[in-house]
């Protein structure tokens, strides 16, 4: 087995393990929320949400991008690891302390004073993330994603049990807060046990400066993304009201869940893989093109189904009174398809040591997206989300500018995996819409099932005819019981090598 084949196989297996972990976490979380909504009040959820709003941003600041540096660095010695750990420990403790001091003021400013003690306790999760960042990075660097998947799935299950127990015993909003904290603590303890690494005394100012130079771009990217989300939320709420924001939030949760259950594992796994082959342009190009082609191929049928079946799916899951959410799902689904390459491109640029290029690119794109939102909000929610979809398509095409030189490819080679799924997606969408229209008199669940089958079958046949190598690559990483019947139906055309990688 060649090095490239072995790496591709290892990467594929890692993605499967991490995807399985996402399924366990998401489905378990979904069942937990169903239970908690019958125990806790809406006010409990609101207070808990207030206490956790700032955490994603603070996690980025606590890590400072050092874990990404450790994953992609050519060599990492004990001095570098010690420097990263002691800084993360100090920064995590400082941020946790700052949260404890600022919590009463934050609660008062938001007119939710009862959130203050919850926010103070949640500060401990920031410390847990910071303390676990180095052993977590070491496991990712070694591509031990099977172990990470088991750790995170186990932590999620235990945390969900804790949340339900606290809720049943009258803990209120503490159930949701302790769920997050418990999960983080279990991950922390587990990665320290599995990584088998212990910090040594010492700190290198020279290596610290190198990590800061790299990590500042990673942190900048995280901050830009968080600011975009906050700004777009503010624009929608201020321009259209909380009710419209609620419908948008429901649609976003639906699409985000579908993304998490399909390709969310791609970023951490592919970043580690790109770092291992960063010195070979030919290997980078081949791996990148295959990863992109597979990512687009996997997520497209799921998003096409959501786009055409949005009214039926929203009614089934959330009720007929949430039907307005279905109106923006198609645009969000298009955004998801166009944006799947975002994970691969970020992994490539960070994994090969070019986080500055990624930071500069998304800063420009996100600024443009906010300007579009400000202009379109006067025309309503559908106009705003359609504008976001247009920006996502433009972004998918323009990402070839920073990416192509890194892998020694033409811009067309970079955008081809995205463009090539469009014809099959259109055919699958038309088939699904037609079946849904014909099945309208049937029970809702039957109608959704038939529409989904029409999308999947049409998509698979179209991919087998137009993209046989990509289809074969996707099937090669699936369990034999699933891939075998599909191969037998689609025929012998599925042979790797019938087309250029990622073409």
**Higher-pLDDT residue of 384, 341:** 384
Report the pLDDT value the prediction gives residue 1, as an integer from 0 to 100: 45
User: What residue spans define the domains of the chain?
Assistant: 1-203, 231-418
Provide mean pLDDT across the span 483-491: 63
Tell me the pTM: 0.72
Q: Output b/e per residue, 297-309; b: 16+ Cβ within 10 A.
A: bbbbbbbbbbbbb
3-state secondary structure of 38: coil
Q: What is the DSSP letter of 478?
A: S
Are residues 136 and 271 in contact, defined by beta-carbon separation less than 8 angstroms? no
What's the Cα-to-Cα distance from 464 to each of 61, 288, 306, 479, rounded to whole Å?
45, 21, 22, 19
Question: Where is average pLDDT lowest: 51-55, 244-248, 276-280, 311-315?
Answer: 51-55
CA dihedral 102, 107, 109, 112 (to 10 degrees): 180
Residues 65-97: tens digit of each pLDDT? 788 888 878 778 888 899 989 988 888 888 888
Are residues 194 and 151 in contact, defined by beta-carbon separation less than 8 angstroms? yes
Q: Tell me the three-class secondary structure of 449-471, residue by residue.
A: HHHHHHHHHHHHHHHHHHCHHHH
Best-predicted range by mean pLDDT among 258-262, 335-339, 471-475?
335-339
Q: Which residues contact 185 (CB under 8 A, 6 or more apart)?
A: 124, 125, 128
Provide mean pLDDT across the span 250-274: 69
Report the pLDDT value the prediction gives residue 54, as an integer from 0 to 100: 65
CA distance linking residue 204 with residue 132, whole number of Å: 20
DSSP 320-339: GGGGGGGGTHHHHHHHHHHH
Report the pLDDT value the prediction gives residue 213, as an integer from 0 to 100: 83
3-state secondary structure of 262: coil
What H or E segment, with its residue span, contains residue 266? helix 266-276
| In the predicted structure, residue 466 carries a pLDDT above the cut 90 | no
pLDDT band at 99 (very low <50, low <70, confident <90, very high): confident
Are residues 265 and 143 in contact, defined by beta-carbon separation less than 8 angstroms? no
Chain centroid offset of residue 409 CA = 26
CA distance linking residue 215 with residue 199, whole number of Å: 20
Report the pLDDT value the prediction gives residue 320, as an integer from 0 to 100: 76
The alpha helices in 399-443, defined as continuous H runs, are 400-407, 411-419, 422-438
Residues 131-161: tens digit of each pLDDT? 888 898 888 888 777 788 788 888 888 988 8
Report the pLDDT value the prediction gives residue 498, as an integer from 0 to 100: 41
Question: Where is average pLDDT lowest: 318-322, 336-340, 437-441?
Answer: 318-322
Residues 181-232: tens digit of each pLDDT? 888 899 999 999 998 888 888 888 888 888 888 888 877 887 787 778 777 7
Report the pLDDT value the prediction gives residue 436, as an integer from 0 to 100: 92
**Higher-pLDDT residue of 5, 332:** 332
Report the pLDDT value the prediction gives residue 237, as an integer from 0 to 100: 74
CA distance linking residue 243 with residue 228, whole number of Å: 20
CA distance linking residue 484 with residue 486, whole number of Å: 5
Q: Which residues contact 327 (CB under 8 A, 6 or more apart)?
A: 247, 310, 381, 382
Provide mean pLDDT across the span 450-463: 89
3-state secondary structure of 403: helix
Question: Where is average pLDDT lowest: 29-38, 188-197, 261-270, 356-365?
Answer: 261-270
| In the predicted structure, residue 266 carries a pLDDT above the cut 50 | yes
Average pLDDT, the chain: 80
What's the Cα-to-Cα distance from 479 to each of 256, 320, 453, 482, rounded to whole Å?
25, 38, 20, 6
Percent of the residues in the chain that have a pLDDT greater than 90, as a whole number: 12
Residue in the block written with tokens 């040591």: 353
């Amino acid at each position: 087995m060649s090095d490239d084949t072995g790496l591709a196989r290892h990467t594929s297996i890692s993605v499967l393990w991490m995807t399985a972990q996402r399924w366990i976490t998401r489905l378990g979380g979904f069942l937990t929320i169903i239970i908690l909504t019958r125990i806790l009040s809406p006010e409990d959820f609101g207070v808990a949400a207030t206490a956790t709003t700032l955490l994603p941003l603070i996690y980025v600041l606590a890590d400072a991008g050092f874990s990404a540096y450790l994953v992609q660095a050519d060599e990492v010695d004990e001095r570098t690891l010690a420097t990263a750990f002691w800084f993360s420990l100090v920064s995590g403790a400082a941020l946790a302390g700052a949260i404890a001091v600022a919590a009463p003021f934050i609660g008062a400013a938001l007119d939710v004073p009862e959130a203050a003690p919850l926010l103070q306790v949640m500060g401990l999760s920031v410390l847990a993330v910071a303390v676990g960042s180095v052993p977590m990075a070491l496991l990712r660097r070694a591509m031990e994603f099977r172990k990470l998947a088991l750790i995170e799935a186990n932590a999620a299950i235990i945390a969900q049990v804790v949340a339900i127990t606290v809720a049943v015993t009258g803990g209120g909003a503490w159930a949701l807060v302790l769920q997050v904290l418990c999960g983080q603590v279990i991950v922390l303890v587990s990665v320290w046990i599995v990584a088998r690494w212990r910090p040594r005394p010492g700190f290198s100012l020279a290596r610290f400066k190198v990590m800061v130079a790299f990590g500042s771009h990673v942190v900048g990217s995280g901050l830009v993304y968080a600011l975009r989300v906050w700004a777009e939320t503010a624009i929608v709420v201020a321009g259209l009201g909380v009710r419209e924001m609620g419908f948008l939030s429901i649609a976003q949760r639906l699409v985000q869940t579908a993304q998490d259950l399909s390709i969310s594992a791609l970023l951490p796994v592919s970043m580690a893989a790109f770092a291992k082959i960063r010195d070979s342009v030919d290997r980078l190009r081949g791996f990148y093109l295959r990863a992109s082609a597979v990512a687009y191929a996997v997520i497209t049928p799921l998003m096409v189904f959501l786009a055409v079946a949005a009214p039926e799916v929203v009614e089934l899951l959330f009720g007929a009174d949430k039907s307005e959410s279905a109106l923006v799902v198609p645009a969000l689904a298009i955004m998801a398809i166009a944006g799947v390459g975002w994970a691969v491109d970020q992994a490539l640029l960070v994994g090969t040591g070019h986080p500055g290029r990624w930071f500069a690119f998304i800063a420009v794109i996100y600024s443009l997206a906010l300007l579009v939102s400000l202009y379109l909000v006067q025309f309503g929610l559908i106009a705003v989300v359609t504008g976001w979809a247009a920006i996502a398509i433009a972004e998918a095409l323009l990402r070839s500018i920073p990416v192509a030189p890194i892998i020694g490819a033409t811009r067309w080679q970079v955008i081809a995996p995205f463009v090539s799924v469009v014809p099959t997606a259109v055919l699958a969408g038309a088939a699904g819409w037609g079946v849904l229209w014909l099945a309208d008199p049937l029970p809702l669940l039957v109608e959704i099932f038939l529409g989904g089958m029409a999308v999947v079958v049409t998509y698979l046949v179209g991919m087998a005819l137009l993209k046989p190598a990509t289809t074969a690559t996707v099937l090669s990483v699936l369990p034999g019981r699933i891939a075998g019947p599909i191969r037998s139906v689609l025929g012998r055309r599925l042979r790797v090598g019938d087309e250029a990688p990622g073409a």
